[in-house]
Chains A and B, each alone.
Chain A
Amino acid sequence: QKEVEQNSGPLSVPEGAIASLNCTYSDRGSQSFFWYRQYSGKSPELIMSIYSNGDKEDGRFTAQLNKASQYVSLLIRDSQPSDSATYLCAVNMISGGYNKLIFGAGTRLAVHP
């Protein structure tokens, strides 16, 4: 079992729709969770961080965390073509006394006009 799993996609949604991206993780001790957006050929850009169970909203983005189910999701409302990118789920894992980010392989999102 991979430490962080995401569907690779592509996830194709029409402009204006809600895009739902999902992520599961294996380490029950993880406390910090992040969503990064990565455009082709560019580096990851932080979109959201979430630390507590429930929802966290920032503009068109909502992150959801369920630690009991070891599940993190990202909702993008009113999707725009500029949202087309790969979305990386990252989990902060404690190992040997330090924090390290473990990434999923990413879900490619395509928003079509």
Chain B
Amino acid sequence: ETGVTQSPTHLIKTRGQQVTLRCSSQSGHNTVSWYQQALGQGPQFIFQYYREEENGRGNFPPRFSGLQFPNYSSELNVNALELDDSALYLCASSSTSGRAGGTDTQYFGPGTRLTVL
């Protein structure tokens, strides 16, 4: 196990609702990245948090937002849920200087399975 934890494990919501997913990073790690993995696809980068700020963002709309706390844990919030938001949401932690380059290795938590009805 990686030491990265996520909650909840599973979640069922209806279209239009809002959801908050949580992640605790591995001890010693200061960066959290969030990914969405639809069935049969590879994980897609949503955004990354470093020092409590969004450090980069993938091609996801603004209704996907996040936070990072002083203890490096993180939240992913999704507003106005759509059916296509049904996926496995993965959190990955790493230890980084926050600058581009380097060889940051990311370790994944167990994921949260979100189903939108």
Contacts and interface: CB of A to CB of B under 8 A. Distances in A.
Interface of A: 4, 31-32, 34, 36, 42-46, 49, 51, 88, 90, 92, 94-106
Looking at chain A's contact residues, is the secondary structure mostly helix, strand, loop, or mixed?
strand
B101 to A, nearest CB: 6
Contact of B110 (A42, A51, A92): A42
A96 B43 CA distance: 20
Contacts of A46: 105-108
A51 B101 CA distance: 12
A44 B108 contact: yes
A97 B42 contact: no
Interface residues of B, number: 31
Nearest to B88: A43
Contact of A100 (B45, B88, B101, B108): B45
Interface in B66-112: 88, 90, 92, 96, 98-111
